[in-house]
Amino acid sequence: MIRVLIVDDHPVVRDGLRGVLAGEPDMEVVGEAGHGAEALARVAAQPVDVVLMDLRMPTMGEVEAIGAMRRVAPAVRVLVLTTFDTDRDVLPAIEAGAIGYLLKDTPREELLRAVRAAYRGEAVLSPAVAGRLMGQVRAPAAEALAGVSWLV
């Protein structure tokens, strides 16, 4: 059974995610939290396998919360589910320890596959986020190559 903690500052979003996950025979929603500090307390207090977490919530920075959760419960997998896909959001979340990054327009079946993949320790990225990360990796390499003289 995959124990999932849902973290989002919007109750209606938490309700919707609970509804999506509740019908799955291999998943159990073990709790909800409205912000990062509450999520950290829940992860410290009970076994959680996957944290499905929004970004930009009140009380505690999400990147800080991701890092803290990974320190408190190293086996927990944090899967970001958000509307934000900017450079200032994606890379810091992954660097802090998120195993995946999805956007809230992800179809239901893909979300369920992503939770299962995160549980298995597999990285999960939405196509838009994967493209953004590729661009970030390629940009420094392209800049470095621009200054190189090639002899043919």
CATH code, domain carrying 77: 3.40.50.2300
Domain assignment present for 25? yes
Domain assignment present for 151? no
Number of domains in the chain: 1
- What is the residue range of 12's domain? 2-146
**Alpha carbon of 105 to those of 11, 12, 88, 145: distances in Å?**
18, 15, 20, 36
Domain assignment present for 18? yes
Q: E strands of 8-135, at which residues?
A: 27-33, 50-53, 77-82, 100-103, 124-125
Domain assignment present for 152? no
Q: What span, in angstroms and rounded, lies between the C-alpha atoms of 122 and 106?
A: 17
Return the SS3 of 12.
Answer: helix
Residue-level pLDDT at 140 = 60
Domain assignment present for 93? yes
SS3 helix, strand, coil % of the chain, rounded to 5? 50, 20, 30
Domain assignment present for 127? yes
Residues of the chain with pLDDT under 50: 152
Return the SS3 of 85.
Answer: coil
pTM of the model: 0.87
142: Cβ–Cβ under 8 A, 6 or more apart, which residues? none
Domain assignment present for 11? yes
